[in-house]
Structure formats: structure tokens, C-alpha cells
Amino acid sequence: MVWLIFAGSSALLVLAAMQLAKFGDAIAVRTKLGGMFVGTLLMAGATSLPELLTGISSLSQGVPDLAAGNLLGSNMFNMFMLALLDLLFRQERILRRVATRHALTASLATLLIGMTAFFTLANIDMRIGWVGVDSLLLLATYVAGVRLIQSGNRGSGGEVVPEEELEGVPTLVRALIGFGLAAGVLIVVTPWLVSSSKEIAEITGLSAGFVGTALVALVTSLPELATTIAAVRIGAFDLAIGNLFGSNAFNVVALSLTDFFYLPGRFLGVVDPSFALVALLGLILTCLALIGNLARVERRLFFIEIDALIILLVYLGGMWFVYARGIGG
């Protein structure tokens, strides 16, 4: 039965994520905000909802390490997706096709992940009410970064699309409604997906830390995977890459927002310090993707770009490291 629930909820989640890509791109066209801005905010926020909901659910069940592993492990998997995209769409060279302005979003994600690793190790026991000052600083940094991205995107965002090319593109109202409904489906379906994956993980006997970082993170990242593939298929490369970089930044925000639901004290204060290593692995992978976006080196090894190959090897090596160290176990 658990396998049927897993398969069914996965299918619904993928379908909803594909609709997110469709309506997100329509919003970008209709508002002239540009695919990068919409990818960074709307797409990344909506497709990261599963991570946020999983974190809150994990805290309610008294498993903070599972929440931390899921959120930080999702950052690793998001960058792993870039290597997968290079394998699936070998003729596109996606990191070379998108705007270098994505470097700002990737830099914000890098800063936030680095701050998370520092706060996890430093264990600064300062709170305002029941919320840790570290979580509030992460949230404030994200808000300031998004404002910077938005101001930098003004005047260079969306191109003027001829009216005849708008035929078949949903109206703004319809796109907003469709986007909201698709995001709502993700909110409803994700708990089924996560609960069934947790049961499957328990059957295998894997450690809690590895389950959060690898399995649950993979499951809750399915919206990013499906949305990104769908965006690439329709040629919305900026939307696809903005979704991945923006999702890495939003995952850290989800971690800080989770702190608001942990009434006993600071969320990062009860997380195993070894999860700083998971954060650092996500930091390394995000930096590699950032370099790939800026360097634009046209070099392949057999059938894969060099930067994508390095990301692939670092991710797989990192997963082995997390498993071998028994992080959060």
C-alpha cells in the first residue's frame, strides 16, 4: 500500500509542478518582469513549499535533524539537477544560455548557506522571544538580497513580446489562478509523499540523517526537478536556472521560518552540529554552478560538460560521505 501512495502522490506532484512552469512563464511574459525574477521568487518559493512543510512536520514529530537534513540536502540535490539537465539536454548547454545576472541569485544562496553552516557550528544562544537571532538574520539577509535582485532586474527584465506571439499564452488572471492552484496541489500532496517515503526509508533501515539528506530531500525536490525540466522543454532557460538557484536561497529561508514553529527554543540550537558538513557540501556545489554560469567554458568530456561532471562527482561523493559518517544518526 505504501508503494501505491508513493507512486500516486509522486505523479500528482510532477503534474502540478509542470503546471507551475507553464503558468510561471505566462506570468513572466504578461508582467514583463522577466523569467529570472519570476524564477527567483514565484517558482522557487512555490516549489520549495514541500521542504518548508516537511520541516514543520518533522519538528511537530520531534525530529529536528530530519528537518535540517531535508532542507540542506535539497540544496545539494538542486545543484545535482544541473548535471542531470546537461545529460538530458546535451545540445542546449543550459548554463551558457542563461543570463549572467543569475550570479546574483547564486551568490545570495551561497551567502545564506555559508551563514547557516556558521550558525550551526557557532551555536549562538540568542533569542527574541522563542525565535533564534540566527534565524532572524538569515531571513533579513534573504529579504535584502531579493530586493537587490529585483532592483537589478528593473529595466532589463522582460522583453517586449509582439501581440501576435501572445496567442495561446494564458491571461495574467488565469495564470495567477492556475499558479495558485498548482501550488495548492503541491501543499496537499507533499505530506502524503513524505510520509510514504519515510515509511519506505524505515523499512530499509537507513539512518535518520541520511534519510533526511538523501531520500526525503530527493522526494521534496521533485517539484524543482519537474518544473525545471518542463521550463527547459519550453525554452524558458532563465526560469529553469532561476528556479534552482532561487530554491537554494529559499530553502535557507524555510529553515529560518521553521524556527517560528519550534516553541521550545532555537531550531539550529537542537540540530546536530555535523549538519554543517551537509551545508558546506551544498555551498561547494552552488559555487561550482556559479562558476559554470560565469566562466562559460565550452569544453566537454565525452558527452558531458566539465562543470556538470564535477558537480555530479561532488554530489555522489558527498552522499557517500554523509552515509559513511552517519550524520544525524
What CATH number did the domain enclosing 267 receive?
1.20.1420.30
Distance CA 78, CA 57 (A): 22
Range of the domain at 314: 2-325
Amino acid at 262: Y
3-class state of residue 301 by DSSP: strand
Supply the pTM of this predicted model. 0.81
- The tally of domains found in the chain comes to 1
Distance CA 18, CA 217 (A): 19
CB atoms closer than 10 angstroms to residue 260: 16
Cell numbers placing 296: 562559460
Q: Is 65 buried (19+), middle (13-18) or exposed (0-12) by CB count in 10 A? A: buried
Cell numbers placing 159: 522583453
Q: How many residues does the chain have?
A: 329
One digit per residue, pLDDT tens: the chain, 329 residues?
788 888 888 788 778 877 876 787 777 777 766 555 555 566 666 667 777 877 887 787 777 888 888 899 999 999 998 888 877 776 656 665 555 667 888 899 999 999 999 999 998 889 898 899 999 999 999 989 888 877 766 554 444 555 555 666 788 889 889 988 988 887 788 778 777 777 777 787 777 677 778 878 887 787 778 777 877 787 777 777 777 888 899 889 889 999 998 888 888 888 888 899 999 999 999 999 888 777 766 666 666 778 888 999 999 999 999 888 877 65
